[in-house]
Structure formats: C-alpha cells, structure tokens
Amino acid sequence: MSNVITYSLFTDFDIDLFKAGKHFRLYEKLGAHLTEVNGVKGVYFAVWAPTAKTVSVVGDFNYWTQGEHLLEVRWDSSGIWEGFIPNLEKGAIYKYKIESNNGGIVTEKADPFAFYCEKPPHTASVIWDLDYEWKDINWMQSRPEHNNLDKPYSVYEVHLGSWKRHSHENRFLTYLEFAEDLVNYVKETGFTHVEFMPIMEYPYDPSWGYQLVGYFAPTSRFGKPQDFMVLVDKLHQAGIGVILDWVPSHFPEDAHGLGFFDGSSLYEHPDRRKGYHPDWKSLVFNYGRNEVRSFLISNAIFWLQHYHVDGLRVDAVASMLYLDYSRNEGEWEPNIYGGRENLDTISFLKEFNEAVYANFQGVQTIAEESTSFPMVSRPTFTGGLGFGMKWMMGWMHDTLQYFQKETVYRKYHQDDLTFSMTYAFSENFMLPLSHDEVVYGKKSIANRMPGDEWQKFANLRLLYGYMFTHPGTKLLFMGSEFGQSEEWNFQESLDWHLLQYDYHKGIKRTITDLNNLYKTKPALYEKQFSNDGFEWINYSDHQNAVLSYIRKGNNLKDDLVVVCNFTQVSRDNYRIGLPRKGKLLEIFNSDLKIYEGSGVTNSGDLNIESSPYDGRDYSIELILPPLSVTVYSFL
C-alpha cells in the first residue's frame, strides 16, 4: 500500500499556463504545502522532473529511505510529480530522491520551491508556511509616494553577514536583531531604501549570496522566514523601502541544487556555450524554455507578494544579454540574425518587467547592466527592456578615476566628470558606489582619496556631495557612509569603532545631511531622469578645477545652484553666471566644521548682480571652500 495519497493542487489551466511559460505563481502549486485532505492534515508535494523515472520524498520522517514515499507523475506530459503525505508537520526536513531515465542516475535534490532551508552547510529543505500578520499597511497603501521615479532614492546597500556581528564570538546577527539595530541606523542616517545583497538561500559564503540554491527561501543563517518578514515590516514602519538583489543570471553546480536536476539539463541551457558561465563556473538558465521562465518570473512575483518587497535589483544583466560575454571566439554561437545578443534573454527580461509592473504598484526593477545596450530602462511598448532604473557604471568608473588623482593634476582630467552628462538622460540612472568597488585590492572608497588625512576626508565629503547633486538616484555600500578604512571583508563586521574618531563622525554627519537635502529639495529628485532637471553654469573651468550647475524641479522657486571645487585652494570672489535676479542662500557646505572641514562659508543672503557672466545676464561672487561642494537656494 502506498504511503502517498493521490492528490493535486493543479488545474488543467495551471498546467496550460506552466507549459506556455505564463504561470507566474507557481509557488502556490509546486513545492511542499501544508494542507488537509479528507480531514487528514499533512503535506502536498509537487516537483517538476520530466526526465525522472521515479521521485521519492525522503527525510527525517522516513529515515531518508528511497521508495518509502513515491510521488506519481501526472498524465498530462507536464513532467510534474505530486502526492499527499499524511501526518507530516511543519518543520520536517526533506529532499527529493530522483532516479533518472538517463542511465538510472539517482540524486538527492533540495526542493526548488522550498520556503525554508536547513542552515548551511546542511542542505535539506524544511516544510514551512508563510503565515504572518503584517503591520505595514500604511506603507503599502502609500508606496507609490515613496517609490515612484520622481521620488528620492538614496539606497543603503547591505550585506547582512558582515554589516555587524557580535564581537565576542563573531557570530551573525539575527533578522530580529537587524530589525532593531539596522532599522534604527538607517533611519538615523536618512537613507530612503535598503538594498540587501542576496538573502535567498545560498550554500557558499564567499559567493556573497550570488550563487543561489533556495530561490524561494530567505537564508536560514539569520533566522526563520517570518523573522525576515519582521525585518521588512519594521523597515516599512520606519518609512524605509526594501530592495532585494535578485539573481536570474546563473546558479551553482552544487549537487543538491538546480543543476542536472532530474538527470537532464532541466533549468540550465543544454548547450554549454549558453548554459555555462566561465567567470563564475556556474550554470546559466535556459531562458527559452517556458517552464524555466515561469519559475523565474514566479520567483520575482513571490518576493514582491509574500515579503512586501519594494524593488528587485537584477544582477549581472550584461552577462545575460550577450552570447559572447566572457567568451572567446569559437566559444559562442551567434543568434539567428548573426548578432551577439541573446534573443531569449531579451524576451524573458521584457516579460519579467511587464509581469512585475502589471501586478504591483509602486515597485521598481533596477538593472545592474554595464554595457551600452540601448533602452534598458525604457518601457517595453517603446522597444525597451522595461526596467525602472539602470546602474550608471560609467559614472562610477570615471568619477572614482578622477578622485584618485592628486588635485594638482585634476585640471587635466575634468572631462572624466563632465562626460557623464553627455548620456545622463539616455536611461533612468542610479549612481552606485557599490560593494564591487571596495574589494579585490581596489581599497575602500575613503582610502582611494589622495592627500593627507584632512584632504582624504575633504575629498570624500566632496565626492558624496557631487554624487548627491548629480542627476540620478543614489546607492552607497555599507561602511562608506562613515569612511570605512579597510576593504570590505565578508567574514567580519564593519569597523564601527572608527566612529569614535572625528573625521569618521564628520563623514557620517555629511551623509545624513546629504540624505536630508536630497529628500527635502524637490529640485534634486523631481526631474532626476530628465534633461529639464539639469543645466550647466560652467563646465569648462579646467584651470581652477571647478564645476557649477543648476538642478531644477517642477517649480522655478525650487531651483538649486551647485558649485564644486575639486582642489584644496580656497577661492575668494569666484564669479558664476545666473539666469535671474534675486538672492542666494547657502544651504549645504561640505567644508563646515561640523563635518571636520575648515569652516569656510558664505554667510547670510547673497545678492545676485546685474552683471553678465558665463553667457548669462546676471552673476554672483562666491567664496569656494577647499575641496568642497556648496549648494544654494534662490530667495
């Protein structure tokens, strides 16, 4: 007598959608679901394994015995195996033991749709539910007011394993501890959003979470799924949005993972030229297979629905878009038109973005895309990929390259800064100073700055001031907000002890005030993706290494004037042209003594003169503090 009862959650319509690649809530059907059949409580299991000869559920409840709980394959050629096991309870540990038709290979696999996984290095899945009483109704109802593209996005990028640890034992904080410490800190420093590096279950710590196995499970390193819900909930209650890094680009070959799942290339592309990533030694999804598309888009929808996430930052989009990415000649095959673009990926990304925006209000998708692929953040109905934003990798590279130069040489390299404005509005750009910029010998952001200690920190304040007044949204990796000295080490806590020193406290206060400036001055966000929101005053004063520009909002009265002095020479009586009469008031100055600057300021109301300059009818003389950004409002 079978220990598994014949039962199904699938309708014929579900199967049709799945086969067509249009089922975007597969997590409601596939996986392990606590339910009741004929008055008996237990668990319904369903797994996609079309090349399997047999599929058994094995676990701590049957001594991991193959054949004790055999699932039945559906009659409809969907490749789905399913069945109900009575009397199983939440918390039971299990895997699928799959015997393949391809040579009788037998493998034990974690459930691709598991809601919870064992704590690594253990690899089994855990029967769990998603029950939780959310308390963030105010945030969810008003989410578009926080997350639309004409709102401020100042994102704090966090790796949970190394943001902070318990010092005496170097152990991780828990989700519940983050829900206190991290939430309070982000609120204090004024960031509008947190972006978590991947929190989906991953086996290998040095991957930083970018090689996923449990796509539907928050990692158990820090607690239970509901504990992560508490963290998101608390962030929302504090008025802070949550963005998750999402990795549909590749997955590891770990034996318990998605690779060669049923004895065939099920999730990965069978052609190694398309199905294997040489840089990361990982497998690449088969974006042309309908069931795989359903899996990935369902996963995106899952985090937005069940974890109330406000956005997904999609990792390594460039590696997905190009067939020749990191491949030599002869190692890739052109598309049907002879090009290098992966047409299946393009189609998939468009469908993913359409599904996200059709199902949720006030969310955003963000592409980490490092090439000049066109229209990444343009709507699909105009031919774009449909992302809300795209990382501005060129700005990041050029800006850091400029700031690393000794100030005496900067006059020869001003084009490194001004070049970004030639393409700044071709996409909806986010300016990232991310984790990738503080590893592998690149040094921390603070330690890239030239000069003595005072100049290093003045340069850092200048960099952040320039970043926050440049068009586009902002992203800053954890530790950069207080001038972390050492490179990021995923195995250790940030160097929080640095905040006992004045220069580091000054950087943190600078970031806090810049966040407040960004959030309260509409000129810095209302038109952050539009050419109408920016106007150069003077970009050609190479000799003095000074840039000046105007940021504009929807109302003329909100315009801001920004002047950046990229040398340590204080400049008195520095004249800039302006478009109209009136007065200016200095509202931000990165050289203030409260930031550990030298304290050179423009105090009081500053009169604009009817004196032509910079091709404009009016002008004003300002004092430019050394290595500074000063921001002025019109009175």
Give residues with Cβ within 8 angstroms of 542, minimum separation 6: 411, 412, 414
Q: Which CATH superfamily is domain 161-524 in?
A: Glycosidases (3.20.20.80)
Domain boundaries, the chain: 12-126, 161-524, 532-634
For 563-592, the pLDDT digits (tens) are 999 999 999 999 999 999 999 999 999 999
Percent of the chain with pLDDT over 70: 100
pLDDT of 95 higher than 50: yes
Catalytic residue among 262, 315, 398, 481: 315
- Count the neighbouring beta carbons within 10 Å of the beta carbon of residue 36: 11
List the structure tokens of 340: 């290098």
The pLDDT-based confidence of 2 (bands split at 50, 70, 90) is low
| 341 in active site | no
Q: pTM of the predicted model, to two decimals?
A: 0.96
Angle at 240 (CA atoms; ends 239, 241), nearest 5 degrees: 125
What tens digit of pLDDT does each residue of 506-557 get?
Answer: 999 999 999 999 999 999 999 999 999 999 999 999 999 999 999 999 999 9
Annotated catalytic residue within 227, 233, 368, 596: 368
Note if 315 is an active site residue. Answer: yes
What's the pLDDT score for residue 168? 75
The confidence score (pLDDT) of residue 170 equals 77
Q: Let me know if the fold of 12-126 is the same as that of 532-634.
A: yes
Tokens of 361: 């209000």
Q: What is the mean pLDDT of residues 181-200?
A: 98
Residue range 22-63, pLDDT digits in tens: 999 999 999 999 999 999 999 999 999 999 999 999 999 999
198 secondary structure, DSSP code: P
Residue 419's pLDDT band, with cuts at 50, 70 and 90, is very high
Tens-place pLDDT, residues 210-226: 999 999 999 999 999 99
Name the superfamily (CATH) of residues 532-634. Answer: Golgi alpha-mannosidase II (2.60.40.1180)
Counting runs of H as helices and runs of E as strands, what totals does the chain give? 14, 30
Query: What is the average pLDDT score of the chain?
Result: 96
Dihedrals phi, psi of 401, to nearest 5 degrees: -65, -40
Rounded to 5 degrees, φ, ψ at 71 are -85, 160
| Angstrom distances, CA of residue 162 to CA of 197, 396, 489 | 11, 23, 7
1 — pLDDT class (breaks 50, 70, 90): very low
**CATH architecture group of domain 12-126:** Sandwich (2.60)
Q: CA nearest 511: which of 193, 181, 190, 185?
A: 190
Question: Binning pLDDT at 50, 70 and 90, where does residue 105 land?
Answer: confident
pLDDT at 169: 78
Give the count of beta carbons closer than 10 Å to the beta carbon of residue 223.
21
Gap between the Cα atoms of 477 and 158, Å rounded: 7
